[in-house]
């Protein structure tokens, strides 16, 4: 059996370096993964405006790549997430809008490392879900495994699914029809998956991989249930009697996080919250301190409307604009 390997164009290799570089940069620096992904997407998109044939040809994922003959091309499961159509500018604009509305809040909740894990894993799962199931759906157009899949929408759907499961009460701005409305993330998730399911069964734009969106969303929910929903509890359990976490990172521990405890004391109303704040203040391991801080911020409520507060990147605020401060 002959293995087929396509030569990769130099410009495609440059784009791969940009994609990987964005991930590495996020890991090494204090920079939000959301913004790094958006920047990488737009850089690759601009390059694609000139070299679309080479980049799409080399880096788009095709279901045929799951066969042994083409298996070396499996890396395109990763690269395809950073590609967008150069014929339809709405593709990258809508994906970016969706991403910027929900991703920063979710990343602030779970941290950039877990966020990257959810984003990349669900993006891969979305493409696999589409590739495996779409041949069994009735369609006026015969399934062609050589047609490429591109776009970040599968991964974005995964982020939406994970967020909706982990923090269903959080409210975000979300496109509903021709409007952008502030709604609970759970409602946004239900609305999104409902629309995608309708398109799958009644037919929609044949150029859109609706099954990939559904696959990404479902995988996001599963990842959230396994890694995020129980993650905070497990991280607290990992703190031993010797005062350190089994997830201790000596590199990270050299960068202590500055916290304004005077501001946080204003929010600690119950005995449990006050004790939690003391644990945060006395903790010396940054990872454990951040875990307790996230837990504390999940517990406090707005002083005026008594609703849960949102928190991202050192800021905490009420969704009804009653309260806003840095911590």
Q: What is the pLDDT of residues 114-167, one digit of tens each?
A: 999 999 999 999 999 999 988 877 665 667 788 889 999 999 999 999 999 998
Concatenated DSSP letters of 223-284: HIIIIITTHHHHHHHTB-TTS-BTT--TTGGGSPPP--HHHHHTT--SHHHHHHHHHHHH--
Give the tens place of pLDDT for each residue, 249-276: 333 333 345 788 888 888 888 888 888 8
13: CB partners within 8 A, 6+ apart? none
- Which domain does 23 fall in, by range? 10-228
Q: Answer yes or no: is 5 within a domain.
A: no
Same domain? For 114 and 183 the reply is yes
* Share of residues in the chain with pLDDT > 90 (%): 42
Percent of the chain with pLDDT over 70: 84
- Does residue 3 sit within a domain? no
Q: How many domains does the chain have?
A: 2
Whether 262 maps to a domain, the answer reads: yes
CATH number of the structural domain spanning residue 103: 1.20.1540.10
Residue 233 lies in a domain: no
- Is 104 among the domain residues? yes
Give phi and psi for 293, each to the nearest 5. -65, -45
pLDDT of amino acid 65: 93
How many Cβ atoms from other residues are within 10 Å of residue 9's Cβ? 16
Cα–Cα distance, 315 to 324 (Å, whole number):
7
pLDDT tens digit at each of 327 positions of the chain: 444 455 688 999 999 999 999 999 998 887 889 999 999 999 999 999 999 999 999 999 999 999 888 888 999 999 999 999 988 888 999 999 999 999 998 988 888 889 999 999 999 999 999 999 888 776 656 677 888 899 999 999 999 999 999 988 888 888 887 788 888 999 999 999 999 988 887 776 777 888 999 999 999 999 998 887 654 444 444 433 333 333 333 333 333 457 888 888 888 888 888 888 888 888 776 656 777 787 788 788 888 888 778 777 677 877 677 778 887
pTM score > 0.95 for this model? no
Is 221 a domain residue? yes
pLDDT at position 42: 97
Kindly state whether residues 286 and 178 are assigned to the same domain: no
Q: Do 45 and 119 have their domain in common? A: yes
pLDDT (0 to 100) of residue 313: 66
């Amino acid at each position: 059996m002959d293995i087929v390997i396509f030569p990769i164009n130099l410009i495609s290799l440059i784009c791969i370096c940009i994609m990987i570089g964005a991930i590495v940069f996020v890991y090494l620096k204090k920079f939000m993964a959301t913004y790094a992904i958006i920047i990488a997407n737009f850089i690759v998109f601009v390059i694609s405006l000139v070299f679309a044939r080479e980049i799409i040809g080399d880096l788009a994922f095709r279901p045929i790549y799951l066969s042994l003959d083409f298996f070396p091309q499996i890396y395109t499961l990763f690269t395809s997430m950073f590609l967008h159509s150069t014929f339809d500018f709405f593709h990258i604009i809508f994906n970016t809008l969706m991403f910027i509305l929900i991703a920063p809040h979710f990343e602030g909740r779970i941290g950039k490392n877990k966020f990257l894990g959810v984003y990349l894993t669900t993006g891969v799962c979305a493409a696999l879900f589409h590739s495996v199931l779409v041949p069994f759906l009735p369609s006026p157009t015969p399934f062609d495994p050589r047609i490429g899949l591109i776009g970040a929408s599968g991964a974005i759907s995964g982020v939406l699914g994970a967020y909706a499961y982990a923090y269903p009460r959080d409210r975000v701005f979300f496109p509903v029809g021709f409007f952008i409305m502030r709604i609970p993330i759970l409602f946004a998730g239900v609305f999104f998956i409902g629309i995608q399911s309708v398109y799958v069964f009644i037919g929609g734009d044949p150029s859109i991989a609706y099954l990939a969106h559904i696959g990404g969303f479902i995988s996001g929910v599963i990842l959230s249930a396994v890694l995020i929903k129980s993650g905070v509890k497990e991280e607290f359990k990992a703190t031993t009697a010797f005062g350190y976490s089994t997830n201790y990172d000596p590199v990270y521990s050299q960068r202590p996080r500055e916290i304004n405890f005077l501001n946080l004391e204003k929010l600690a109303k119950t005995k449990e919250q006050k004790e939690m704040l003391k644990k945060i203040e006395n903790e010396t391991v940054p990872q454990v301190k951040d875990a307790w801080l996230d837990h504390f911020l999940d517990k406090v409520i707005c002083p005026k409307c008594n609703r849960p507060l949102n928190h991202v990147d050192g800021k905490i605020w009420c969704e009804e604009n009653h309260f806003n401060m840095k911590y």
